Structure 1
Amino acid sequence: MPALEDSLREQHEVLTAQATTAPAPLADAHEAARVAAVVTSAPVGMPPSWLAQLPALEVLSSFGVGLDRLPLDAARAQGLPVGYTPNVLNDCVADLAMGLLIDGARRIAAADRFVRRGDWLQGRYPPTTRVSGKRLGIVGLGRIGQAVARRAAGFDMSIGYHNRRPMEGVAWRHEASLLALAGWADFLVL
């Protein structure tokens, strides 16, 4: 994340380490002893072994939603604050999912290529389908799945979902079996 590093360098001394260098974040123990903050991303995270080697660490911050690559239990045991960015991408991902759904049904991108290539001179574009009034199956009704469901409701779609267990307080159809959901749905969002 070069832009982030440049921004941090304006106000802080920045040392760069790769999570692939575990178990040691920095070769120089003196440098490691001065590290006050670790900034990482959800896909990269931070190996748990680094905590013991960064005695001055005051905060661990991750850009992204996922926490599975962060040493949460060890950080909690040390009283180390962990920051991350939940919900920051929910709407963007849901918007993109709906855009891809509409494009897949209406074949907008393929139709654009058809016209640009001049294929319309040789014949008609094949019929497509609509999303409105259709059945949408959502695999996983977490924050993003719920955001997709709200958008799909705006298209008068019937909404079903598959989760480990039914969610309380939602009016959408729960399917205990992923195969049953796939059989019911016209479209499936993963």
Structure 2
Amino acid sequence: MEKIGVLMTTPMSNYLEQELAARFTLFKLWTQSCKNKFFQENSSAIRAVVGDTKCGADAELIDSLPTLEIVASYSVGLDKIDLDKCKDKAVRVTNTPDVLTDDVADLAVGLVLAVLRRVCEFDEFVKSGKWKNGHFELGSKFSGKSVGIVGLGRIGTAIAKRVEAFGCPISYHSRSEKSHANYKYYTNIIDLASNCQILIVACSLTEETHHIVNRKVIDALGPSGILINIGRGAHIDEPELVSALLEGRLAGAGLDVYENEPEVPEQMLGLNNVVLLPHVGSDTEETSKAMADLVIENLVAHFSNKPLLTPVI
């Protein structure tokens, strides 16, 4: 398959890059100084695109590749792929579900603990030598607090199972009630936020869930509430979140994703009640390799005329 052209849209994983290069003719879009010239010279050779949550495959990219057959996402998310365009062009789409579920769920719980127990503040308190000279403000317990989860898919369900161990009452909001779930279901997110102390966003990003957490939701969560986002940055109206934190209308937040990554609202950088991570929900060595292997296996299956392991389209 070394003559089959595969386009990586952005840096993702050194291991993935090496494995793609070993099996296919690999093109790296981010290294091209003149993309128009690059596509003129190579578009007909590219039969696959590998993208992620930063740069997937929009309509313009798909239209520029006349022999494109498959888009493989190095992520469970599909919001950076124009699925309608792929359907129109009969381009297959795959992603990497399941392999990252545990890591993201683990991190969600870690963010809750970090915010409530002020882990980052206390780390700095010790390392800076302040412990020798003064007292520290107390954090808040996690166990027993009511938790609301936005989106009860694979990741949301995995988060709920972990939260159960802390003795937390769990409720959720999603497009429909889940028959397998024994948690309280709310038909709208405002009611969910009004009835929980910790709100965790774990849904997929669609037109309907864009800014699903707005001022009304934040105010419903209230000045004692904690907001955690391990979904997508655009789930939250960021300016409204910033103002709520600055005005004390929200107690704290733990974020792994942002609207304009890698840009983070500057006003949040100095807030002690906010824990900020650089979109590392699934970035462990084990999961990164497993995701890369799944991308490779899907591409090999496609070009060998075998069923895809994780087909989307």
TM tier relative to shorter chain: 0.7 to 0.9
| 1:180 and 2:191 correspond | yes
Greater relative contact order (Cα 8 A, min sep 6): structure 1 or 2?
2
- What code does the residue aligned with 2:167 have? D
Contact 1:37–1:60 (CA<8 Å) still a contact in 2? yes
Give the C-alpha shift of residue 78 in structure 1.
4.6
Q: Percent identity?
A: 33
| 1:89 and 2:100 correspond | yes
Residues of 1 paired with 2:161 and 2:100: CA distance?
A: 15
2:74 to 63, 74, 96: 63
Q: Which residue matches 2:58?
A: 47
| 1:26 and 2:39 correspond | yes
**CA 1:108/1:81 → structure 2, altered by over 3 Å: closer, same or farther?**
same
Give the C-alpha shift of residue 178 in structure 1.
2.7
Residues of 1 paired with 2:37 and 2:71: CA distance?
A: 16
Give the aligned CA root-mean-square deviation in angstroms.
Answer: 2.7
SS at match of 1:42: coil
Contact 2:72–2:95 (CA<8 Å) still a contact in 1? yes
Residues of 1 paired with 2:167 and 2:159: CA distance?
A: 13
For structure 2, the residue ranges without an aligned partner over 5 or more in a row are: 1-10, 202-313
Count, aligned residues: 186
TM-score by length of 2: 0.52
| 1:14 and 2:26 correspond | yes
Residues of 1 paired with 2:36 and 2:84: CA distance?
A: 18
For structure 1, the residue ranges without an aligned partner over 5 or more in a row are: none
Q: Deviations over 1:125-169 (max 9, x none)?
A: 333222112211222222222111110001111111222433222
Contact 1:114–1:120 (CA<8 Å) still a contact in 2? yes
SS at match of 1:15: strand
Contact 1:22–1:50 (CA<8 Å) still a contact in 2? no
- What code does the residue aligned with 2:23 have? Q
Q: Deviations over 1:8-52 (max 9, x none)?
A: 22332223336xx89997022xx3222222222233121334445
**CA 1:163/1:52 → structure 2, altered by over 3 Å: closer, same or farther?**
closer
Contact 1:24–1:49 (CA<8 Å) still a contact in 2? no
**CA 1:43/1:88 → structure 2, altered by over 3 Å: closer, same or farther?**
farther
Contact 2:150–2:172 (CA<8 Å) still a contact in 1? yes
Contact 1:23–1:49 (CA<8 Å) still a contact in 2? no
Which of 39-48 and 52-61 deviates more? 52-61
**CA 1:73/1:158 → structure 2, altered by over 3 Å: closer, same or farther?**
same
TM-score by length of 1: 0.80
Contact 2:52–2:80 (CA<8 Å) still a contact in 1? no
Residues of 2 paired with 1:70 and 1:157: CA distance?
A: 36
Q: Deviations over 1:37-93 (max 9, x none)?
A: 222223312133444543433332121112233233343455433221123322111
